[in-house]
Amino acid sequence: MQKWRMEQAQRLYSRPDASAITDIQIAQGEEFEMGKEVRRNGVGFSQVRRQNGQTGYIPSETHVQFPVGYVIGAPRDDEYRQMGIKDLKVGGFWCVAGAAATAAVVAVGGPFVVFGAPLAFGVFRLCRGLGRVASK
């Protein structure tokens, strides 16, 4: 679950049903965790957990603020790490491919040609991947 902040006060239902009796409210500005969405009779409800551990449901159309600490367009820490791991794999592949191509040309007696573009691209992706994995 991810932490969100309530934009305006909202009733917290004990089950995903607007007819459920409740006297509990999530106050404006209160932080909570939002879970999966449940649809009943064509109406959506999101499962929430308050900081005190109390759980319930709010209508899906409830206005909430972006997750706490969220920067628009920025990947989450786990996504950032996964992108770094992918960069390491791709960079390693292109470094090996560039070196292998260079070695193959030299081995057959051809002119000494260094396949610089694949090597440079591979080194770039390796460096970016190391930076991403090490920063988080």
Average pLDDT over residues 5-26: 82
Do 61 and 84 lie in one domain? The reply is no
Q: With bands split at pLDDT 50, 70 and 90, how would you rate the model's confidence at 70?
A: low
CB 97 within 8 A of CB 122: yes
Residue 72 in any domain: the answer is: no
Q: With bands split at pLDDT 50, 70 and 90, how would you rate the model's confidence at 97?
A: very high
Terminal-residue alpha carbon distance, the chain: 20
Give me the long-range contacts of 30-38 (CB less than 8 A, separation at least 24).
30/5, 30/6, 31/3, 31/4, 31/5, 31/6, 31/68, 32/3, 32/4, 32/5, 32/6, 33/1, 33/2, 33/3, 33/4, 34/1, 34/2, 34/4, 34/64, 35/1
Do 54 and 26 lie in one domain? The reply is yes
Element (H, E) at 86: helix 77-107
Beta partners for residue 69, in sequence order: none
The domain containing residue 113 runs over which residues?
A: 77-135
Q: What CATH number is given to the structural domain containing 27?
A: 2.30.30.40
What is the number of structural domains in the chain?
Answer: 2
Q: Calculate ∠ Cα 125-128-129, nearest 5°.
A: 85
Residue 18 in any domain: the answer is: yes
Q: With bands split at pLDDT 50, 70 and 90, how would you rate the model's confidence at 117?
A: confident
Average pLDDT over residues 97-120: 85
Do 49 and 24 lie in one domain? The reply is yes
More confident residue, 6 or 97: 97
